[in-house]
Amino acid sequence: MHDERAQFFYGWYVAIGCTLIYFFTNAMTLFVPQTLFPRLMEEFGSNEAEISLTVTITLLFASLFAPFAGMLIDKFGALRIMRIGIVLMAVTYSLYSFSDSISDLYRLHFLLAIGLVLSGLVVNVIIVSNWFVKHRGKVIGMLVASSSLGGAILPLMISPIVNDPKLGWRWGFGLLSILFWLFAVIPAYTFIKEKPSNLGLFPDGLPKILEPSDNGIASVTLLTALKSRALWCLGIGSACLWFSIQGLNSQITIFFEQEAAFSPQQAVFLFSTLFWFSFIGKFAFGAISDTVPKRTVLLITSIILFLGTLLLFDFDSNQISLTKNPTKLGLFTVVFGLGFGGSFSMIQLVAVEIFGPAYLGRILGIITFIDGMGAALGTNLLSQIKTDTGSYLLPFSIVTIVSLIAIINVFLIRPIQKNNT
């Protein structure tokens, strides 16, 4: 009987449901709109800074709401909060295709910000962390990898529709909104359960006498976390990483079309390739972190991301310029994608490892606030500089410098002393 229960551990159904939800939420809120930027600029007559403000609004207000959402999660439970957010996102996605102006998009991205913090990464990480201890790295790696998979698949899926003059981006996004109702809303309200104890089970499907410990990591108090160097180095490091990741992701499709002279289909393909390797990085480094210290893995992935940014440049005779070499740009999508994916998953795992589960909602809310502000600043600053200068040379140079600062902060992260718990 025990073997059968272990083989069909219900936690895997929960993990699949959370993975489906996160597959859609991040991709449809951030990644798909970014591939639509060139088409939206054409339709609404906007420039890079104006169209990028859509995603900046989402990132900025998601960051501001994140600490408050963390308190709600700790008080009312992750699943209840997730269900509220998932319906808000579904309704907002359904309205997206009916936007008549860029102002409409701004309002919808504000609503998406609320939905994202209520039903996005934090609640899903908390729920799957409740169900898994021994395999937590692999499962969270699978979870966070799903958003990259969404970024790789969804833009390519709707690209023929988006670039068909008879259909366009409205029909493409409308199709995705229908899929969201089917494959995100339904799981949230049916088979996802918040804790193993809801079904009389224990983490990892083990009997109580074999129930795994949380790797010997006691939870720290919120005050201890706030006073620790670990929280602020992780927060600032992740803010720098997200400045680089989201800043580049928001502008790279425009760069591919306008400065590297790729066709719209080629630009979407390269964007998708970046996310395929982000998917590989999230899953692979999440699995590696089950045997290698998570802080070490985060340092490695931060270095990989930095090296990826260098591939955007040509260094010839003391002159720096943006590369237009297709092979080099293809290699950029591989290296940057791996660094992006690995860093993404490690930020969450390092937080779980250092601070424990007791106040995880609020602690992840604080970290999400800090790194979200970095992502918002990256998106806004890079697009504004491009609008002002007409080139991505300075914006992408700033990304490289900021990603180097991320490495320094990650290197300075140290575990909290046990006598503080």
The domain tally of the chain equals: 1
User: For residue 4, what pLDDT is reported?
Assistant: 46
Residue 211 has pLDDT above 60, yes or no: no
What pTM, to 2 d.p., does this model score? 0.81
Read off the pLDDT of each residue in 289-312 and give the average, rounded to a whole number. 92
Cα–Cα distance measured from residue 209 to residue 217, given in angstroms and rounded to the nearest whole number: 19
pLDDT at 214 over 70: no
Residue 357: predicted pLDDT: 66
Give the domain range for residue 75. Answer: 2-420
Average pLDDT over residues 31-47: 92
pLDDT tens by residue, 110-152? 999 999 999 988 899 889 989 998 888 778 878 878 888 998 9
Residue 164 per-residue DSSP state: -
User: Could you tell me if 387 and 271 are in contact, meaning their C-beta atoms sit under 8 angstroms apart?
Assistant: no
Q: Is 230 exposed, middle or buried (0-12, 13-18, 19+ CB in 10 A)?
A: buried
- Better pLDDT: 371 or 170: 170
Q: Quick one: pLDDT at residue 282? A: 81
DSSP assigned state of 98? T
CA 166 from chain center: how many Å?
A: 33
Say how far apart CA 341 and CA 288 lie, in whole Å: 13
Under the banding of pLDDT at 50, 70 and 90, the label for residue 416 is confident
> DSSP assignment of 342-405, as one string?
HHHHHHHHHHHHHH-STTHHHHHHHHHHHHHHHHHHHHHHHHHHHHHHS-SHHHHHHHHHHHHH
145, two tokens: 């990898």
pLDDT of residue 7: 64
- Is residue 105 pLDDT above 70, yes or no? yes
Decide if pLDDT at 181 tops 80.
yes
CATH code of residue 74: 1.20.1250.20
Average confidence (pLDDT) over 187-207? 88
Which of 82-91, 240-249, 349-358 shows the lowest mean pLDDT across its residues? 349-358
More confident residue, 346 or 178: 178
Q: Count of CB atoms within 10 A of residue 415's CB?
A: 14
Q: How confident is the model at residue 22 (pLDDT cuts 50, 70, 90)?
A: very high
Q: Give percent of the chain above pLDDT 90.
A: 55
